[in-house]
Amino acid sequence: MSKVIVDVSPSLDGYLAGEEVSVERPFGTAGHRLHRWLGFEGATPAEADHEAAAAMFVTAGAVVLGRRMFEVGIGTWGADGAFGRPCFVATHRPHENVDRGPTSFEFVTDGVPETVAKARAAAGGKDVIVVGGASVVQQCLAAGLVDEMRLHVVPVLLGAGTPLFADSSAAPVELEQTGVVATAEAVHVTYRVTR
């Protein structure tokens, strides 16, 4: 059975982006620091970083993301749309579907659970990868949809920005660590959500 997997890169203090996120600055004041493990900002990723990046797509059949992430990211994802598979955008505002080479973006206005359901149907038995933003991740967790979390924790303290886990009133989510690999640019930690 396919899994729903959150795959994101937070700072050590838990932010997915800095302040002042915009189309011109998709990660705000954090710049591309949170993705140096992917080779941004002239970094040289270690072999374990390459393996963590590849793991995101090995079992992926579809991707889920939020409207804000789409809006600030689409301009940087190139002609192929970066993801190479069907993507489902959780949004409150209708939008025409967007195709970029092998990547398609379908906009779903019926809530995050329905967005994940559509992604699961399109994934053809493969996994659904939730790449952000923070609100979509939080809603997936609150709805009990997440089976696994892959966090690429970056050794930087941003101090402010978009927190990955903002809603402290949410019910506790128990996790079991199933893997950890540390490099100079990130600690790649995998957790299974226990039920």
**Tens-place pLDDT, residues 98-144:** 999 999 999 999 999 999 999 999 999 999 999 999 999 999 999 99
Q: What Rg, from alpha-carbon coordinates, does the chain have?
A: 16
Expressed in percent and rounded to 5, the helix, strand and coil fractions of the chain are: 30, 30, 40
pLDDT tens column, 156-167: 999 999 999 886
Cis preceding-peptide flag for 133 (omega within 30 of 0): yes
Over range 69-77, report the average pLDDT: 91
Using CA atoms, how far apart are residues 43 and 69, in angstroms rounded to an integer? 23
Using CA atoms, how far apart are residues 125 and 110, in angstroms rounded to an integer? 22
For residue 127, how many C-alpha atoms fall within 13 Å in the half-sphere facing its CB? 18
For residue 122, give both structure tokens. 């399109």
Q: How confident is the model at residue 169 (pLDDT cuts 50, 70, 90)?
A: low
Mean pLDDT of the chain: 93
pLDDT at 42: 86
Which of 29-38, 125-134, 168-177 comes out lowest in average pLDDT? 168-177
Using CA atoms, how far apart are residues 110 and 25, in angstroms rounded to an integer? 29
The CATH superfamily label for domain 4-193 reads: Dihydrofolate Reductase, subunit A (3.40.430.10)
Where residue 42 falls (left for φ over 0; alpha for ψ -120 to 50; beta otherwise) is: left
pLDDT at 126: 97
For the chain, domain boundaries: 4-193
CA distances from 62 to 65, 97, 102, 159 (A): 10, 15, 12, 33
Using CA atoms, how far apart are residues 183 and 53, in angstroms rounded to an integer? 13
Using CA atoms, how far apart are residues 134 and 132, in angstroms rounded to an integer? 5
Over range 11-34, report the average pLDDT: 91
